[in-house]
Amino acid sequence: MLRTQQSAARRLRFACCLLGSALFSQPLFADQPASHSVSAERLEMLTQAAQAQVDKGKLAGIATLVYQDGKVIHRKQHGYQDVENKVPLSEHTLYKIFSLTKPVTGTAMLMLYEEGKFQLDDPVEKYLPELKGLKVAKEEGPNGQPITEPADHPVTIHELMTHTAGFTYGFFSESQVDDLYKQANIFDRESTLAETVDKLSKIPLRQQPGTEWHYSVSVDVQARLVEVLSGMSFDTFLKERIFVPLGMNDTDFYVPQDKAERLAVSYQPEEEGGLVPLPNTQHSTKPRMLNGGGGLISSMDDYLRFARMLLNDGELDGVRLLKPETVQAMRSNQLPEGVDAISPIYPGNQFGLNVAVVTDADEAVLPEGTFWWWGVQGPWAWIDPANGIITLGMMQNTDYRHSIGVHRAIAKILYGDEI
């Protein structure tokens, strides 16, 4: 056990040294001229491919935007935000962005980091004592309860921000721990972040912290940390410290009545074809669960402002949220030693702080250094610092596997060697 603990400590020191030295002093793309400019031919192919998704009945609607060299060079809306009422997508449509919330939460955390509120190698239990002494599932056990062992070290904030903390989601893998997440109703809209963390404290980790990248509720734990560290509710912090300064006037955890008609409907594909609409009613009131991993509703314009801030190393229109070196650390590989990659469904990618980072352009079909993420109903954001390009897409479709295919097809159109 001592050897395991020493190994874990070395991994932690290695990860934190990355943040304390080279990453905070060396710009990633210094003196590298942009090598890729998105041509009019590629943009026309993008338009045709997006429209084909609607024409074939695969998507009710899809909006795309490409920003390069300080201006929007492409913006199109295809299809409907509400098929039944024939309401077309518009530039003002609002979308449930789901996990595109995660980079926003990461930005909030890093703002508090810059203020000296925590260190990345701090144990989470220092600020959330209910997470002290977490057990880890060792193997499947009787009566739906896993056999556990102690965690070989306390979960750190760095591990939370790299999805290596040992938490899970409850529905992207199958295990007794995942089943316990479902039984605890971890994503109950009527549970606060504090109550959600309390639920997590009673469930074993899925694997030892620092040993595996596994997509998880760790960003919701970060949202609770923002509350504890700032003394503000999570939504208030985001509004006062990020949304208002950046002019993100349409981003929140719910849609007020005067904006309700702008919210796109989500659709679930049927096996025999066709799209079934899902009700938007739950999004008209503020939830008690301020889901830091996937709860925000936003617009294309708002998310573009957020992405531009990150592309511009933490500053937009004279408003600075983060230091350049902090953004550079965010968009650099931060996986612990021994964890070489993230999910195989994202080839060519490693992970920074709440964002994926392209490390193999050929496999990812995106330029090296692009940092990005996406939401479970399809919205995505690619930020390509080497070429000064932001690509955004918005859709509301529950078939996330289809969304991954759409993303990859569009990446090939914009960046592929052959068009």
Going from N- to C-terminal start, the domains of the chain cover 40-107+232-415, 117-230
Query: 40-107+232-415: what fold?
Result: Beta-lactamase (3.40.710)
Residue 383 has what pLDDT? 98
What separation, in Å, do the N-terminal and C-terminal C-alpha atoms of the chain show? 55
Any idea which of 13-22, 160-169, 303-312 has the lowest mean pLDDT? Answer: 13-22
Residue 68 has what pLDDT? 97
pLDDT averaged over every residue in the chain: 92
Q: What is the dihedral of CA 244, 245, 250, 255, to 10 degrees?
A: -30
pLDDT tens for residues 356-370? Answer: 999 999 999 999 999
Split at pLDDT 50, 70, 90, the class of 418 is low
Helices (H), 248-317: 300-311
Split at pLDDT 50, 70, 90, the class of 33 is low
- How large a percentage of the chain has pLDDT more than 90? 89
Say if residues 105 and 293 touch (Cβ distance below 8 Å).
yes
Residue 1 pLDDT greater than 60, yes or no: no
Q: What angle do CA 40, 368, 21 make, to 5 degrees?
A: 140
Place of tokens 């096996």: 271
Whole-model pTM: value is 0.92
For 104, residues 6+ apart whose C-beta sits below 8 A from its C-beta are: 238, 242, 296, 306
For 224, residues 6+ apart whose C-beta sits below 8 A from its C-beta are: 128, 193, 194, 196, 197, 234, 292
For 5, residues 6+ apart whose C-beta sits below 8 A from its C-beta are: 152, 153
Burial 207-241 (b: 16+ CB within 10 A, else e): bbbbbbbbbbbbbbbbbbbbbbbbeeebbebbbeb
Split at pLDDT 50, 70, 90, the class of 394 is very high
- Dig out the tokens for 227 from the structure: 């509350």
Residue 16 pLDDT greater than 90, yes or no: no
- Dig out the tokens for 98 from the structure: 């789901």
Residue 201 has what pLDDT? 98
